[in-house]
Structure 1
Amino acid sequence: MSLGTVPNALVVIAIVIAVLVRRLSWTELENSDADVWRGPVIVIGIGIYQLYDRHLGLGGAEITLLVVGAVVALVAGVATGRVAQVERRAGKVFYRLGIPGLGIMVAYLVVRLGLAGVGHLLGASVTTGGALMVSIGANLLTQSLVIQSKATHTVEEYTPQ
Structure 2
Amino acid sequence: MSFGTLPNALVVIAVVVAVVARRLSWSELDNSNADVWRGPVVLIGIGIYQLYADHVHLSAADVTLLVIGAGVALVAGVASGRVAQVERRAGKVFYRLGLPGLGIMVAYLVIRLGLAGVGHLLGVPVAEGGALLVSLGANLLTQSMIIQGKASRMAEEYTHQ
- Once the two structures are TM-superposed, the CA of residue 31 in structure 1 deviates from its matched residue by 1.0
| 1:157 matched to 2:157 | yes
Is the Cα–Cα contact under 8 Å of residues 62 and 124 in structure 2 kept in the other structure?
yes
The CA deviation at 1:134 is: 0.1
Query: Is 2:16 the counterpart of 1:12?
Result: no
User: What secondary structure is seen at the aligned counterpart in 2 of 1:79?
Assistant: helix
For the 8 Å contact 2:65–2:127, the answer to whether it is kept is yes
Task: State the partner residue of 2:126.
Answer: 126
How far has the Cα of 1:5 moved from its partner?
1.2
Q: Residue 41 of structure 1 aligns with which residue?
A: 41
Hey, what's the Cα distance between the residues in 2 that align with 1:9 and 1:143? 21
3-state DSSP of counterpart to 1:155: helix
Give unmatched runs, 5+ long, in structure 2: none
Map of 2:137 onto structure 1: 137
Amino acid in the other structure paired with 2:64: T
Letter in 1 for 2:49: Y
Question: Could you say what secondary structure the match of 1:152 adopts?
Answer: helix
**In terms of mean alpha carbon deviation, does 71-80 or 54-63 score higher?**
54-63
Q: Provide the C-alpha distance between the structure 2 equivalents of 1:15 and 1:66, rounded to a whole number of angstroms.
A: 20
What residue number does 1:2 align with?
A: 2
The equivalences for 1:90-109 within 5 A come to 90-109=90-109
SS in structure 2 of the partner of residue 88 of structure 1: strand
Summarize deviations over 1:101-130 as a string: whole Å, max 9, x none.
000000000000000011111100100110
2:82 maps to 82
TM-score (norm 1): 0.98
Aligned AA for 1:104?
I
- The aligned residue for residue 22 of structure 2 is 22
Contact 1:55 1:126 in 2 (8 A): no
State the AA in 2 paired with 1:49: Y
TM-score (norm 2): 0.98
Structure 1 runs not aligned, ≥5 long: none
Task: Name the count of aligned residue pairs.
Answer: 161
